[in-house]
Amino acid sequence: MSESDREGRTTISQASTLEEIGAFWDSHSLADYAEETPEVSFELRAQRRHRITLDPELYARLETEARTRGISPETLVNRWVTEKLQTT
């Protein structure tokens, strides 16, 4: 394979599309390529979260509503609070 043919391909799988990469890793284990993978380090800063307590009955209703919408209760509360604050 020439240098131009290798351009745009991943190092281990030699794939050039996300579908090819997925197909490769569906049938291979990273453990078999551990020596070929470089060690990396990175810093991650998560945004601070705040907790608000809810009455258990209110939370049960919230959880039911969220389930019917196919989202988590936290996501539903965030949406509702965002909507409310945009209208004030």
Q: So what's the pLDDT on residue 2?
A: 45
Q: So what's the pLDDT on residue 8?
A: 65
Which pairs count as long-range contacts for 7-12, CB under 8 Å and 24+ apart, including other chains? 11/36, 12/36, 12/37
Number of H helices, E strands in the chain: 4, 0
Q: So what's the pLDDT on residue 49?
A: 86
Segments of the chain with pLDDT less than 50: 1-6
**CA–CA dist 56, 36 (Å, integer):** 51
pLDDT tens digit sequence for 47-68: 888 999 999 999 999 999 999 9
Q: So what's the pLDDT on residue 5?
A: 46
Q: Which of 43, 64, 37, 62 is nearest to 52 (CA)?
A: 62
Q: So what's the pLDDT on residue 7?
A: 60
